[in-house]
Amino acid sequence: MTRHPEKIFVLTGAGVSAESGLGTFRDRGGIWARFDPMKLATPEAYAADPDTVLDFYDHRRRGVIAAEPNAAHVALAQAEARLAARGGRLFLCTQNVDDLHERAGSEAVTHMHGELLKARCCACGTVTPWRADLSRADACPACASEGRMRPDVVWFGEMPMRLDVIEAALAEADLFVAVGTSGAVYPAAGYVRQARALGIPTCEINLEPSDNADAFDAAQYGPASEALPRYLADLGL
């Protein structure tokens, strides 16, 4: 492992926010164990039954607003600042739609699956900060169309966001770290193999071995709030 990496690419998933009380997706009792994603997280579901889809995201948005960052989020924000101070860069790519990385102090967060605290107008494409419940009565602040606002999150069957920026950052990293992600959803799940193909050392930090565990050079298992601060401290961050 690189002892003093200068360009760290960190990929986070739902496990990093689990200890903040936000549910993961595929663990026992997780969100997709209780709800059918095809009925709640696809463009087809939204077209067929927008109220049910909007209700589901209203509930999750309220949960995000009520949650607080945990020690894993804070450790990543500190590492970003410390690495920047010594001329390096921590590129934080998250699959999470919450804002807990930002609230912990991370300056630059790339949300590849979008952000729940933003709404997008299906008519004009404008993205607007949004903390309230969403309903079909809401009008777009930009174009005034009614009934066309949706959460600015990526649904199954849609393209994740900012893939060009993410792949460029991965290509120049000298360490790849995945935290709290099951390795079940692509393209994020493929980044570890892309990193290895580029000769970049890889480490997984997770509660238990992920679906992708055999693809990593190294692993540390435990709750993210403990394992991640320890790991970053070992890197001098």
Task: Give me the catalytic one of 73, 101, 111, 113.
Answer: 113
Residue count (the chain): 237
Residue with tokens 């924000």: 77
Using the contact rule CB under 6 A, the part of the chain among 10-18, 73-81, 134-142, 193-201 near ligand OAD is 10-18
**113 labelled catalytic:** yes
Single residue of 6, 7, 27, 150 touching ligand OAD by CB under 6 A:
27
* Cβ-Cβ contacts under 8 Å for 75 (sequence gap 6 or more): 228, 229, 232
Using the contact rule CB under 6 A, the part of the chain among 17-25, 61-69, 133-141, 194-202 near ligand OAD is 17-25
| Sheet (strand 175-179) strand order | 109-111, 89-94, 7-12, 175-179, 202-206, 218-221
Judged by beta carbon, residue 25 or residue 130, the one nearer ligand OAD is 25
- Is 151 a binding residue for ligand OAD by CB under 6 A? The answer is no
Q: How far is CA 74 from CA 3, 102, 157, 164, in A?
A: 22, 9, 32, 27
Rounded to whole angstroms, the Cα distance separating 4 from 87 reads 12
- Is 229 a binding residue for ligand OAD by CB under 6 A? The answer is no
Residues near ligand OAD (CB under 6 A): 13-15, 18-19, 24-27, 30, 41, 95, 113, 154, 180-182, 184-185, 206-208, 210, 223-224
> Which residues are designated catalytic?
113
